[in-house]
Amino acid sequence: GSQVKDKGRTMYINVENKKTYIATGSKEHIEGSMGITFIHGTAMDHTVWTLASRHFARLGLNILAVDLPAHGHSEGDLIPSIEGMADWVIKAMDAAGLEKSIIVGHSMGSLVAFDVAARYPDRITALAMVGTALPMPVGDVLLNSAKENSPLAKDMINFWSHSQSGHLGGSQVPGTWMLGKLNRLLERAGPGVIHNDLLACAKYSQGMERSKTQSFLSCIADIYNYYALSSEERNKTINLQ
């Protein structure tokens, strides 16, 4: 059964003997309910999923919005590869008692989510990739700036991460300053975190090949078949799972 019983919006679980911080959308996990695992992007943490976590938690789904090792409030060492992060996500799901889960990732997290779905298709019921590219190249100027822990790296990430309207304000959530929030997240990142994450994205080269495997295609086919159902049939499927 689920080990996530805390009534607060966040709590800790133990992953590889390390204290790991997760957000649950302010709801306890419900035995037998569908799970959604959220994976953040480069140098970010669970807070980027606050609104989504709360929304889906109130629909009765079990939320696992993780802080990857050495990100946010999680202990542990940085993981230098997308594949390593994907393996860690499965261990986090195990620790939280999630046998199966929808998986959602943003930017670097989208590659992690993709790799989880490609290599562990029996654990994933749906895949959502936000702000993604495959492959995900990273320019040398940005990589070198990040390696030197230069503030320029944070500026480049923040500038390129938002549309022109976003730079002017354009958030759909009143009172939310998107550039300011991302800047604060990047400022909180520990030494080497930004470079580690960017390099992991740049080095991830197996994605396209893994997308052609039979196990991954079967996973995608199952997801397609699920969304081809009527809303009533989907609800029955979620209840059964």
User: Are 103 and 127 in contact, with CB atoms under 8 Å apart?
Assistant: yes
User: What band does 238 get if pLDDT is binned at 50, 70 and 90?
Assistant: very low
> Which of residues 93 and 238 earns the better pLDDT score?
93
Query: Looking at residue 218, what is its pLDDT?
Result: 53
Query: Looking at residue 219, what is its pLDDT?
Result: 53
- pLDDT for residue 224 is more than 50: no
A 10 A CB-CB count for 209 gives: 10
CA distance 23 to 203: 29
A 10 A CB-CB count for 147 gives: 15
CA distance 203 to 189: 21
Pairing of strands 124-130, 101-106: parallel
Query: Looking at residue 7, what is its pLDDT?
Result: 45
CA distance 219 to 212: 11
User: Are 65 and 132 in contact, with CB atoms under 8 Å apart?
Assistant: no
* Lowest-confidence region among 29-38, 108-117, 123-132, 167-176: 167-176
> Which of residues 235 and 30 earns the better pLDDT score?
30
Query: Looking at residue 207, what is its pLDDT?
Result: 78
Q: Rounded mean pLDDT of 91-98? A: 94
**pTM of this prediction?**
0.85
Query: Which pair of tokens denotes residue 163?
Result: 């549309």
3-class secondary-structure state, position 103:
strand
Query: Looking at residue 54, what is its pLDDT?
Result: 93
Pairing of strands 10-15, 18-23: antiparallel
